[in-house]
Chains A and B, each alone.
Chain A
Amino acid sequence: MRIRTVVNNETLDLEISLSNSLLELLRDILGLTGTKKGCDFGGCGMCTVLVEDKPVFSCITPAWRAEGKRITTIEGVGIRDNHHLHPIQAEMLKNFAFQCGYCTPSMVLVAKSLLQENPSPTEQEVKEALSGVICRCTGYSRYVKAVLAAAETMKKGLELDI
């Protein structure tokens, strides 16, 4: 089947099959490998992307659900050169939030969605937002710290230059 969707601000007409997941659409059809595959059952959160700015597990979302929707993947976050990052990315870097990096794209997107909806989250609200993404390397606290710091930066309307 054919669908029209907007991925990272680019309108695309795509041929997909009914059985394709959104994860397959992104990784296999579009080659956007920043979205990771971890379990295939919506259990680990590695495949999180934003549909209309809300996080979804792309491995259990059918690709046809992207019809007419705006999809944001990690490739669509921040300015794509090495000197400007989204404040969430910059703070994650600065706070040593991640280690292996496999869950990082999902963490960035979940945080982005949270801060868009709630620019001044409490620590508990950040923890709740991140709780759908498993990180096996860290104790999560640096991710939480980074998101709270990014919220502060974004409220000041600044873009961090790193």
Chain B
Amino acid sequence: MLTQQKQTVAVGLSIERIDGIPKVTGRALYTRDIKLPHMLYAKIKRSNHPFARIINVNCSKAQELNGVKTFVVGKDFAPMSNEDTPPLARDRVQYLGQAVVAVAADNLQIAERAAELVEIEYEPLPALLEPMLSMSAGSPILSPGLNNFRNVGNYLHIIKGNVNDGFSKADLIIENEFSTVAESQFQMEPLSFLARPDTDGGVTLWATSSGTSKVKYEVSSYLRLDPRKVRVLITFLGGWFGSKEENHLSAVCAALALKSKRPVKLELTRAETMTASGVRHPSIISIKDGISRGGVIIARAIRATYDGGAYGSLGNLMVKNAVMTASNVYSIPNFEVEVYRVYTTRVPGSAKRAPLGFQMAFAIESQMDSVARRLNLDPVDFRLRHVLRNGELNSMGEETIGMSYEVALSKVAKEIGWKASEPPLEYPWKKGKGIALAAKWGYSAPNQASVRVNADGSIDVFAPIIENGQGTYTGILQLVAEEFRIPVEMVNIASLIEGSSSEWGIGTGARASQQMANLGPAVIAACKEAKRSIAHVAASALGVDETDIAVEDGKIYSLSKPSRQMKIKDVFIQGSILLGSPIYVPPHGHGEFRGSSTYLKKIGHFDPKNGQLEDGRASPYYITVAQAIELAVNIETGNVKVMKVAAAMDVGKAINPELVRGQIEGSVMMGLNAALSEELIFSEGSIVNANLADYKLLTSLDTPEILPFILETPYEQGPWGARGAGEASILPTAAAVRNAVYDATGKWINSLPITPEKIVES
């Protein structure tokens, strides 16, 4: 895939977004914008206890309201394991805000009133609001969990060398504890669902979700429906950032529609979107380093505890992300990392941009600076002393391939003027610079795509692409245009108009930045197969073997005898005349000129004894990211003003450089928000600041200068060498801020967010 003899026609060019005109004109369709005739509106009754047994549910008062049509309760759904949030609670609620009853009515006001009138009798149980409490002996069991650990949903332990040996040989031990908090993804489009009961007894769902297949199969199991009868359409998403991973609400909406035999719309409010669906996992991460006289870390032990909340919500799978983040970047001979994800009676921890890895990168990159400064060493030099070289094994026993730690770190250091001496700012402002480095994992999951070649040489692409803003419609389109070497205008992404359909094949969607790296190869393979189907028909006409045929730029020609060529239209025949317009069809007996393909990359498994990889790799690839930040701290008030961020990311190949830069800038901004401001504040299990007045986000007035730098060390299996670009650049930001605040003030803040109060008080 990496041969690049000819100049590209689409790949590597910053072509305009194909969803650009619909978006600037307000015509892009989001789930919230869709209405159906005779539609009902739904509202969910939620738990006001963090942990309680449900004694009785009484809908009779609500039922009496004029316009109320249907209720569904927990028992209307198949029971699932604790890995999945139940669509509605069955016997007990395990977090405050958990959905218990759903009602559908003629309009939203009636539905809201009905939900208020639903009476639920609870027997409160002692809440387990902290992981340590939840793990301790005697706590009630929230989930069967893992055998040896009470209420632990997942646990991974990686061992390399012997840390105790390392600590005993060390001349200095430095240990720190870091903590992070729950955050909202705060995508601008609140969660929305629309379900239409279909004539075959099935349902069509429009859902704000990250992927079509996940909704189809999860909803079919929740509702005990044949998956063939659950059809899913995902339109443009008004942001994502991990917020749309959970599909229990799709199931609630579908159940109401099937029961009422009417279309049903379920729109969550902003507060519900913030408090009742998965949040970023709060964490406590301790790191102990043993350092030799020469200033080298010879042993490191990390213990991380993530508050998983009440259910799995994919979070248990993400424990691996924490391990992969911890095990990369640095070469440390004796190394151990233990990661626990613990059930508590809080809103589930789920995905948010670089889930679990973000917390780990904050801790490690903070520790690196704390150690370097303690040793009086430059943080950049200290990191360079420890980075993994390509070819070396990381702490999981996985070969380091295609990483660019030195280049990335040096680049951002240079751009920020790392060692430059600059005049001090006027009192009370003090300037500081901070740096951080990280590696973001990739992901392996199945993806299918198909393409059809039309007589005019245009290509239709049927791939379950999710456009959450990243520009994936455009990027995939560029791959197709390149494969056929045609202008981008000749490629039709079917998803653009109606969204992506679950009926086009398996799609993992917008998870773990996987679309370009996993769906991209499927799309390219589908194009190649479509070209073979053309070559098969063209071979006899051109009098050459079909393997000797190329399809490019609207032409079909022989590679060995280039003068033998024909137009794509020439493999079609004229079918009939419809009101004067001819239509062209493949010759009798041939199907469409079409190709389809599946892409699934195999990855390895951890040895349960020591976490070393038994076969292959933990991740298909890693992405190098480095950031350097310049900021000013007002030492009187603790206010922080970020001035400049230099951010490098190695994407392997930027299919569309401007879109990649956009991902870097957006990730940095979200990282700054998390570093300085974002925190969902809990009081007795209840989130008390679920609104924008109390949950502050940076605005255009707080924007620093962000300098994005794309590095291109190819990922051999990626399309044109590309890796995923969506999340990686959030990893280093919070630590770089923390390290810069130290540079300015001499204060180490080891807990996020780094608020003015913490700076002034510490």
Contact = CB atoms under 8 A, between A and B. Distances in A.
26 contacts: A33-B30, A34-B27, A35-B26, A37-B32, A41-B692, A77-B26, A82-B21, A85-B24, A96-B658, A98-B469, A99-B666, A100-B238, A102-B30, A102-B188, A102-B239, A103-B188, A104-B26, A128-B700, A130-B700, A132-B699, A137-B239, A138-B662, A141-B665, A141-B703, A141-B705, A142-B662
A139 B470 CA distance: 14
B578 interface: no
Interface stretch (B11-19, B385-393, B589-597): B11-19
Contacts of B17: 93, 96
Interface in A53-99: 73-75, 77-78, 80, 82, 85, 89-90, 92-94, 96, 98-99
Given A80-B25, A96-B17, A41 B701 contact: no
B26 A43 contact: no
Contacts of B239: 99-100, 102, 136-137
B471 interface: yes
Dominant secondary structure at the B interface: loop
Interface string B228-245: 000000001111110000
B269 interface: yes
A131 interface: yes
A138 B701 contact: no
A78 B701 CA distance: 27
Contacts of B470: 99
Which 7 pairs of residues, A with B, have the shortest CB-CB distance? A34-B26, A100-B469, A101-B23, A102-B238, A74-B26, A43-B692, A99-B469
Contact of A104 (B23, B32, B670): B23
Among B24, B27, B659, B706, the one with the most A-chain Cβ atoms within 10 Å of its Cβ is B24
Given A100-B236, A138-B666, A40 B699 contact: no
B28 interface: yes
Interface string A149-162: 00000000000000
Contact of B190 (A37, A75, A93): A37
Contact of A144 (B189, B658, B669, B703): B703
Contacts of B693: 41, 43
Interface in B465-522: 468-471
A28 to B, nearest CB: 9
Contacts of B669: 138-140
A36 B208 CA distance: 15
A140 B189 contact: no
Among A80, A100, A127, A138, the one with the most B-chain Cβ atoms within 10 Å of its Cβ is A100
Contacts of B241: 136
Interface in B674-691: 691
Interface bin, chain B: 35 or more
Nearest to B192: A37
Contacts of B697: 134, 136
A41 B666 contact: no
Contacts of B188: 36, 38, 44, 46, 100, 102-103, 134-136
Contacts of A131: 699-701
A108 interface: yes
Contacts of A140: 669, 699-700, 703
B33 to A, nearest CB: 4
Interface in B24-63: 24-30, 32-33, 35
Dominant secondary structure at the A interface: loop
A66 B118 CA distance: 37
Interface string B177-214: 00000000011111000000000000000000000000
B103 to A, nearest CB: 20
A127 B190 CA distance: 25
Contacts of A104: 23-24, 26
Contacts of A78: 24-25
Given A93-B21, A94-B16, A33 B662 contact: no
B238 A101 contact: yes
Contacts of B33: 33
Given A36-B238, A41-B692, A78-B24, 13 more contacts: A34-B25, A38-B190, A39-B190, A41-B270, A43-B270, A85-B25, A104-B26, A108-B24, A108-B26, A126-B700, A138-B669, A141-B703, A141-B706
Nearest to B14: A96
B700 A144 contact: yes
B700 A105 contact: no
A96 B662 contact: yes
B622 to A, nearest CB: 24
A117 to B, nearest CB: 17
A130 B703 CA distance: 12
A94 B35 CA distance: 32
B20 interface: yes
A144 B701 CA distance: 10
B19 A101 contact: yes
Interface in B71-104: none
Interface in B695-719: 697, 699-701, 703-706
A98 B16 contact: no
A39 B691 contact: yes
